[in-house]
Chains A and B, each alone.
Chain A
Amino acid sequence: MKISANHPLAIGCIIIFFIALFVIFGPLFTSYSQHSQNLAISLSSPSIQHPLGTDYYGRDVLTRLIYGGRISLGIAVFSAIIAVLIGTVLGLFTGYYGGFPDLIIMRFVDVMLAFPRLFIVLLIIGLGGSSIPALIWVIALFSWMEIARIVRSEVMSLKNRTYVKSARAQGFSVNRILFRHILPNTINPVIVATVLSISTIILVESGLSFLGLGVQPPNASWGSILNDAKIDPLGTWWLSVPAGFLILFSVIGFNLIADGITEELDPRKN
């Protein structure tokens, strides 16, 4: 494997690496707290003290972008992990057993996919309130379907492989066959799907927060900082542009990584 020749993967990793640095080590370089208000300097444009200006309450935008990034990315990663777990387990069992349960679950998946995800999530959050754990769960519960489908189709082809048949003929238990002999061989597409779903979830969360239904004040996320700018996006460009770019770049970064991994795992390459 020559990673150096794989430009998408390299570029994606560099982008995500810098965003991660920014989010993790950012607090070391700002002296402000994300919540400390100073109404006297409300909505001041960028200056030496506040490199990215301040918001309505006079809070430092740079600091809020750092902490907001932790929340945005954290929600995305945790939701994606939960979604992958649900999707993988359901995909494994439906793919292996087939039959009636498979039919039911897959039609359920179709129904879930048929709903516009953002609106359903909006509805639930709107009715039930939005704490961060609630956001994670609700987004995860509406993101596992693609993964279930991918895993299921992989399993359907793997279960007819000769080595699985031999294992059955020797009396291996179903769990052993599934988790030790089939699951590891489905892992490649699952990794790609996970990375891709992280980037879609970043968008979903930003969308929710932009509409005011995601992360609630005083906490920030990139989407909610965008939301702060919506009265005058051009006039208060230091609120909208940096947050927008962070969202854009992390989505691009994760997409590039997914592309790169797909290429790296392409059997023709080895």
Chain B
Amino acid sequence: MAEKWPTVTKDSFDGSKVEILGETYEPGKPGPEAPGLWRNKLQDRKQMLKYLETGLRYWYAKEGYGSEKRKNPA
């Protein structure tokens, strides 16, 4: 592994040195069409509506999470 991935040496809790995995990103700059265009992953209407119910559940899930949906409001 050490050959394939860069590692760095850090201090452990007990003061000893440990070698851990270092930065794994590729050097250089992403182009304008960089991966990050996550919205393309939602392909059809079903997926899109499902994402609204989960990812943006604060507004779009019937039963949900969040401070405003708890049993005993503050």
A, B bound: no
Residues of A within 8 A of B (CB): none
Residues of B within 8 A of A (CB): none
